Amino acid sequence: MAMSFNNLYLLTFCVSLVLSLSSISIADNKNHAAVPLQTICHSTMDPTYCKSEFANYKNGSYSIYDYCRISVRNSLSQSRKFLNTMYSYLQNPSSFSQSTIRALEDCQFLAELNFEYLSTTHDTVDKAGDVLPTSQEEDVHTLLSAVLTNQQTCLDSLQTSASNSRVKNDLSSALSNDTKLHTVSLDLFTKAWVPDNKISWQQHGGTKNNDRLPLNMSKKARAIYDSARGQGRKLLQTSDGNGSVVVSDLVVVSKDGSGNFTTINEAIAAAPNNTAAADGYFVILITEGVYQEYVSIAKNKKFLMLIGDGINKTIITGDHNVVDGFTTFNSATFAVVGQGFVAMNITFRNTAGASKHQAVAVRNGADMSTFYSCSFEGYQDTLYTHSMRQFYRECDIYGTVDFIFGNGAVVLQNCNIYPRLPMSGQFNAITAQGRTDPNQNTGISIQNATIKAAEDLTTVVGTVETYLGRPWKEYSRTVYMQSFMDSLIASVGWHEWDGNFALSTLYYAEYDNNGPGSDTSNRVTWPGYHVIDANDAANFTVSNFLDGDNWIPQTSVPFQMSL
C-alpha cells in the first residue's frame, strides 16, 4: 500500500524522536518551557553539529523558541561573513578565469539574497511569541527554505564552473559548514512555529476595483492600454468576475519607437524601487516583436507586471548556455527575483539548442510570482523554478532534459507540457526537482496539465523515452494531479538520477491522472513513489501548497484553489 504524505511525514518525525536519549518531547514544550539540548539536537538531521552549535548554551534553560532565535542569529552572522568573502574575491577579478568569475558572481548574488532573507527572518523570530500569524509563518518558512537553495546553487556553480581549485575548495568547505547551520535554523523554526497539523488557509477579501492610471499618460500609451484592457480584462478577471488589477503606473515598450521605451530593460530600470503591494503594479506593456535581450529583474523591483501581445507575438529571446561558458544559473534569457512579479502573454526563449546542454529560458526566484498565458521554449533546463512561491497558469512549456527544474514551491495549473526531440542517446525528463532538506516547503505540483509530444518528437515517439521526472537532489518532491498524459510517457513513469540515489527519500506522487500514459500499474516501485488519494493530493493545491488564495487574486489571474 502506498504510504500517504501525512503518514510519511509523521513516521519520519517519530523515528527522529526515538533517537532522543531524553524522555522529554519537544512537542510538549511549545510553551517556552526549558528543553534539554540533548532533546533538541537528537531530533535534528545532524545531532553532532547541532550540539556543537549550542555548546555554549548546554547548561542554560532555553526553550525551543530560544534555540531557534540563537540559531537564526548565528546564521545571519555567518551569511554576513560569507558575503564579505564574496566581495573580497571579486575585488580583484583579473586573477581568475572567466568561468571562475561567473561562478563567484552567482555566489555573490545569492549571498546578498541570503543576507536579506536571514535579516528578515531574524527580525521576525526575535519579536515572535508562541504563535506566528499564518502569513508570517509561511513567509519565514519560505525564506529559510530559499536560503538552503541559494547555498546549494552557489555550490553547484562552483563545482561545475570554477576552474580555480583553491577557490572551489575553500568556498565549498565554507558553504558546507554554513549550510549545516542554516539547516538547524530551518529545522528548529519548523519545530517551534510551524503547526503540527496545518488548517486550511484563511480566505481574504478581494482586491480593489479601481485602476489608478498616471495622469501624464500619452495618448499612444492610453490607446494601447485601452486596447489591452478591452482584451485583457476578460483574460485577467478572477473566477468570480469581480477582480481587477490596481495600477500605479504604466509604460509601453515598442521596438518602433512609438512607446515610452524601445527595450524592456529600459522600462524595468524606470520602475520605482521597493514598492508595496497596496501601491499597485508598475505595468509594462510590451508590443509585438522579437526582443533580443537578457533581462534580470532585481530584488528591489517589486510588483512589476509585464503584459505582451500574446504567445509567439511578444518574444524575449537569448542563447546563453553552459557549453559557451555560462553557469546554468546565469544562462537565463530572463531572470527575476523581485517579489510579486507577474508576466502575461509573452514567449520566453533560449535558442541555444539541444547540443549546448543546460540553457535556461526563465529563471524564477521571485516570491509570490505569477506567469499567465506564457510560453517557455528551450531544450535542457528550460524553466528554472529556482526558489520561493510561484504559480503558472495556462502556460506552454517545451524542453527535453530536466526542463522544469529547481527548488521553489511551485504549482503549474492548466498548462501544456511539450517534451521535444533531444540529442541522440538522450531521454526526456520533464522535471528535476531539487529539494535538499525535508523541512523545506518546496516541490513541483502539476495540476490539470496536458502532456503531449512536441511536433518534432511526434515522428519518433516510441524511440525516445520520456519520463515524468528524476531526483536531482535527495528530497526531490513532485506531484502530478488530474492531468492528461499521452502515450509518450514511459510505463515506469519515473527515472533514477544515479543508481539508488534518493529513491527512498524523494516524494513522487500521482493522483487521478488520465490518458494512455497515466496507467500506474507498471510504475517504479521505489519507497518514495506513491499513488495518492484526494486527502493527500490536497496538500499540493494552490491554497495549501502556496497559500495562493492570499496573493494570487490581486493579479486577476484565474486559479483553482483546490482539486
Instruction: Cite the active site residues.
Output: 402
Q: Is 249 helix (H, G, I), strand (E, B) or coil?
A: strand
Give which of 315, 332, 326 is closest to 366, Cα–Cα: 332
- Cα–Cα distance list, 78 to 87, 170, 174, 225, 390 (Å): 14, 15, 9, 48, 28
Q: Which of 544-548's residues contact partners 24+ apart within 8 Å by CB, and which partners?
A: 544/198, 544/200, 544/201, 545/409, 545/411, 545/443, 545/445, 546/389, 546/390, 546/391, 546/409, 546/411, 547/134, 547/135, 547/138, 547/201, 547/389, 548/389, 548/391, 548/411
The DSSP secondary-structure symbol of 67 reads H
| Distance in angstroms (rounded) separating the CA atoms of residues 100 and 93 | 9
What cell does 400 get? 527535453
∠ CA(526), CA(532), CA(536), 5° rounding? 120
Q: Which helix (H) or strand (E) holds 51?
A: helix 47-53
Cβ-proximal residues to 350 (8 Å cutoff; 6+ apart), any chain: 317, 318, 319, 320, 321, 331, 332, 333, 359, 360, 361, 377, 378, 379, 382
What cell does 406 get? 529547481
Q: Which of 121-129's residues contact partners 24+ apart within 8 Å by CB, and which partners?
A: 121/72, 121/75, 121/76, 121/185, 121/189, 122/72, 122/73, 122/76, 125/65, 125/68, 125/69, 125/72, 125/189, 125/193, 126/69, 126/72, 126/73, 128/65, 128/193
What cell does 461 get? 515517439
Q: Which helix (H) or strand (E) holds 306?
A: strand 304-308
| Distance in angstroms (rounded) separating the CA atoms of residues 422 and 446 | 22
User: Is residue 468 within 8 Å of residue 489, measured between CB atoms?
Assistant: yes
What cell does 234 get? 476578460
User: Is residue 315 within 8 Å of residue 361, measured between CB atoms?
Assistant: no
User: Is residue 445 within 8 Å of residue 191, measured between CB atoms?
Assistant: no
Q: Which helix (H) or strand (E) holds 431?
A: strand 428-433
Q: Is 106 helix (H, G, I), strand (E, B) or coil?
A: helix
